[in-house]
Chain A
Amino acid sequence: MNWAPAFLSNPERFMAFSRWAAPMFGAIALVLGVAGLWLGWAAPEDYQQGATVRILFIHIPAAWLSEFAYACLAVASLLALVWRHVLADAAAQAAAPLGAGFTVLALATGSLWGRPMWGTYWQWGDARITSEFILLLIYLAYMVVRASLDDEVKAARAAAILALVGAVNLPIIHYSVVWWNTLHQGASVFRAGGSALAPVFYWPVILMVLAYMAAFGSLWLVRIRGEVWRRRAEAAALRAARA
């Protein structure tokens, strides 16, 4: 693990780093979010979507973060599984509820955009919607596995294996609009050959994606800190019970 940043392998250094990094990321998220929303609501209505284009400024970042958070969860799970890294396990555990929250947002905002544009809130046959819904189920399954086993080491191991298996769904979500020609339109922002969005919509989306990423970074650090405190408190309680 020599390649890993020092704070990743040392809880004390992580706690010192996250103490100032979490509020800093939160402040960055706030500034970028205000700027993104300001530009987004100042942009003209889309000639096809009308005012519903405003939903994309919160839908695309939520969808992006639902996958990004899962990638973080999977990498942390791999580190925890292979190197038995306690902090990586705490990071994986902390990422799950945040990722689930962003996935709910992606599905809900997408549904509210789809009703006026597609004429339906939900389409089971759509590859992107269904694979995103499966992502939510994987997040929920991960949290259930962690909560349902009394032995925390076994729970962490089982959840990490589930997280790594579930990572197969990430490329399926991303390429679902390429592999299957269903209702959801193709990639319009993060795609080879550049964005299909006009600059007046592209930059608010990018600012909002960065704002969501900074918010995730801030909340992730706060939750990992909470996990470190929880494990310290429970270890102390166990020592007290044995004494």
Chain B
Amino acid sequence: MPHFETGKYAFFIWTAYGISAGMFVLLIASSLLHARRWKARAQAPGAK
């Protein structure tokens, strides 16, 4: 079973995991929004 005790290194470990999670959220959101925005424009009436 996982154990989440990080002791005196808590700041470094949780900051590293927080930054990683934040970057993934940013990359996923920006990729999906970019694709959806341009798909909507390309499929808009009069665009074809």
Contact = CB atoms under 8 A, between A and B. Distances in A.
Contact of A226 (B17, B27, B31, B44): B31
Contacts of B7: 50-51
A219 B28 contact: yes
Interface string A211-243: 000010001001101110110110011001000
A233 B23 contact: no
Contacts of A11: none
Interface stretch (A112-120, A125-133, A173-181): A112-120
Given A51-B7, A58-B20, A223-B34, A233 B41 contact: yes
Interface string B1-40: 1111111010011011101100110111011101111110
B48 A236 contact: yes
Contact of A222 (B12, B31, B46): B31
Contact of A113 (B12, B31, B35): B12
A38 interface: yes
B42 A229 contact: yes
Contacts of B6: 51, 54
A165 to B, nearest CB: 26
Nearest to B39: A229
A15 to B, nearest CB: 10
Interface string A25-55: 0000000000001100110000000111011
Contact of A42 (B3, B13, B30): B3
B6 to A, nearest CB: 5
Nearest to B41: A233
B24 to A, nearest CB: 7
B34 A38 contact: no
Nearest to A230: B38
B34 A41 contact: no
Given A51-B6, A51-B7, A105 B23 contact: yes
The 9 closest A-B pairs by CB, nearest first: A226-B35, A41-B2, A229-B38, A233-B42, A233-B41, A230-B38, A226-B34, A236-B47, A232-B42
Given A51-B6, A112-B15, 18 more contacts: A42-B2, A50-B9, A52-B9, A52-B12, A54-B13, A58-B20, A59-B16, A98-B31, A101-B27, A109-B16, A116-B9, A219-B28, A222-B32, A226-B34, A229-B39, A232-B47, A233-B41, A237-B47
